[in-house]
Amino acid sequence: MKIDYSNLKLDRLNDYEQKALNAFDALMDGSGEGSDFIGWIDRPNDYDRKEFERIKKAAAKIQSDSDVLVSIGIGGSYLGIKAVDVALDKYFDSDRKVKLIYAGNQLSGQYMTELLEYLKDKDYSLNVISKSGTTTEPAIAFRFLRESLEEKYGKEEAKSRIYATTDKKKGALKDLANKEGYESFIVPDDIGGRFSVISAVGLLPLAACGIDIDEFMAGFADGRNKYTKRDFKNNEAIKYAAIRNMLYENGKDIEVLVNYEPKLKYIAEWWKQLFAESEGKDGKGIFPVSVNNTTDLHSLGQMIQAGKRNLFETVIEIENPLKDIEIKEDSENLDGLNYLAGKSVNYVNKQAMEGTTIAHVKGDIPNLRIIVDKIDARNLAELFYFFEIAVGVGGYMLEVNPFNQPGVEEYKSQMFKLLGKPGYENK
């Protein structure tokens, strides 16, 4: 992974070096707020090998008896998984042994009804992911899906098809798993949801659909080796955090994550949660948004090019796409594309990226580029770790706790009051 800063003015970056290093020190030595939730930093080296092997065995069982695994979770128990799943799957006819389907990440009655109908003629298993077991969306989904599974297979066989990823010791889901005998895996106490794809939360469903989790963990180890060094010049995660802080203090309070490969759409969705939940506190924070180009150049492109000048772009470039196709000459040339004959679609895509960058930089949109060699499990894991270190450093530079999310509780209180949940009458 490389970073291209050529479209940024970095003459003031040195002014942010000490601030960034102080924030990095607070992250690494555990002296900053929220340090109870930095277990992900050393996780690439100190993960539970026995649980890792159990995950592989459970994944093999799912592959042997199921066409579909329904992953039930929301937020960090959903987005990281789907980001890797979508990025590494084929666009159309998947050749995976097990199809991953998601539930519990929204409250659509139509979605649930159609999901239950879809599963009627499928062999399937459930992986319910919730530390407490009482989060509204996954709890509702699990209630429906568990009932459907028991009706299809009977209560005893259904138990062997339910995998609970939950708290090690307590909570409603842990109690149910103990009572019913579900195989269970741990949501770590020291890793928050948006960082948890490195744990059983992400590893079990990803392994079940055939992703090489050894390579995935190796990518996190690559990231740890690169991005935990106290080196402002060469540690790109520290530098990225400093650049973001510099731009923020110069009025650039919206960051647009840009990709030119549709497979990266859910990487951006995970990234938005990571930065929004980590930085958006105390009236502070860079608002994270994303675009999928070239598609969105025909919609949001106008706003980015000529709207309010309070944003900057971070572009993820895939240097070596796995597949490509050449444009051939057409004898009639009615579409006027013969000037592209002999060039590939990816070549055209790269020129669109370069042209867009030039136009946006001219329009006062600072632009930095993260260059990833190719989309595979190892590179994606390194990219995740890069962003995680950067958001920890960036949060401390903003003087907020990057590892809590107190703002999400207010909507829940108001929703529960409207739903008539006991104890919320006077909220």
Q: 262-299: per-residue pLDDT in tens?
A: 999 999 999 999 999 999 999 999 999 999 999 999 99
Q: Does any domain span residue 236?
A: yes
**pLDDT tens-digit readout, 388-397:** 999 999 999 9
Q: Does any domain span residue 177?
A: yes
Residues 87, 13, single domain; the answer is no
Residues 194, 253, single domain; the answer is no
Q: Does any domain span residue 243?
A: yes
The pLDDT assigned to 419 comes to 87
Residues 277, 139, single domain; the answer is no
Distances in whole angstroms, Cα of residue 423 to Cα of each of 134, 140, 412: 15, 19, 13
373, amino acid identity:
D
Q: Does any domain span residue 315?
A: yes
The pLDDT assigned to 303 comes to 96
Domain that holds residue 126: 42-211
Task: Write down the residue that tokens 């980001």 correspond to.
Answer: 83
d(CA 166, CA 172): 9
What average pLDDT does the structure give for the chain?
A: 97
Residues 133, 107, single domain; the answer is yes
Residues 28, 67, single domain; the answer is no
Residues 397, 262, single domain; the answer is yes
Q: Does any domain span residue 414?
A: no
The pLDDT assigned to 407 comes to 83
**pLDDT surpassing 80 at residue 426:** no
Residues 159, 226, single domain; the answer is no
The pLDDT assigned to 408 comes to 80
Q: Last residue of some domain: 161, 182, 211?
A: 211
d(CA 291, CA 295): 8
Return the sign of the alpha-carbon dihedral for residues 404, 47, 83, 355: positive
Q: Last residue of some domain: 155, 187, 211?
A: 211
> Would you place residue 418 in the very low, low, confident or very high pLDDT band (cuts 50, 70, 90)?
confident
Q: Does any domain span residue 422?
A: no
**pLDDT surpassing 80 at residue 5:** yes
**pLDDT surpassing 90 at residue 412:** no
Q: Does any domain span residue 338?
A: yes
The pLDDT assigned to 386 comes to 98
> In this structure, are residues 360 and 354 in contact, taking their beta carbons and an 8 Å threshold?
no
**pLDDT tens-digit readout, 23-62:** 999 999 999 999 999 999 999 999 999 999 999 999 999 9
Q: Does any domain span residue 355?
A: yes
Q: Last residue of some domain: 159, 179, 211?
A: 211
Domain with residue 133: its CATH number is 3.40.50.10490
Average pLDDT for 310-338: 97
Average pLDDT for 76-101: 96
The pLDDT assigned to 348 comes to 98
Residues 303, 343, single domain; the answer is yes
Average pLDDT for 416-425: 87
The pLDDT assigned to 397 comes to 98
The pLDDT assigned to 237 comes to 98
**pLDDT tens-digit readout, 130-155:** 999 999 999 999 999 999 999 999 99
Terminal Cα-to-Cα distance of the chain (whole angstroms) = 48
Give how many domains the chain has, as a whole number: 2
DSSP labels for 258-271? Answer: EESSGGGHHHHHHH
Active site residues: 277, 412
Residue 99: both structure tokens together: 């199809």
Residues 152, 114, single domain; the answer is yes
Residues 16, 53, single domain; the answer is no
Residues 8, 139, single domain; the answer is no
Residues 29, 11, single domain; the answer is yes
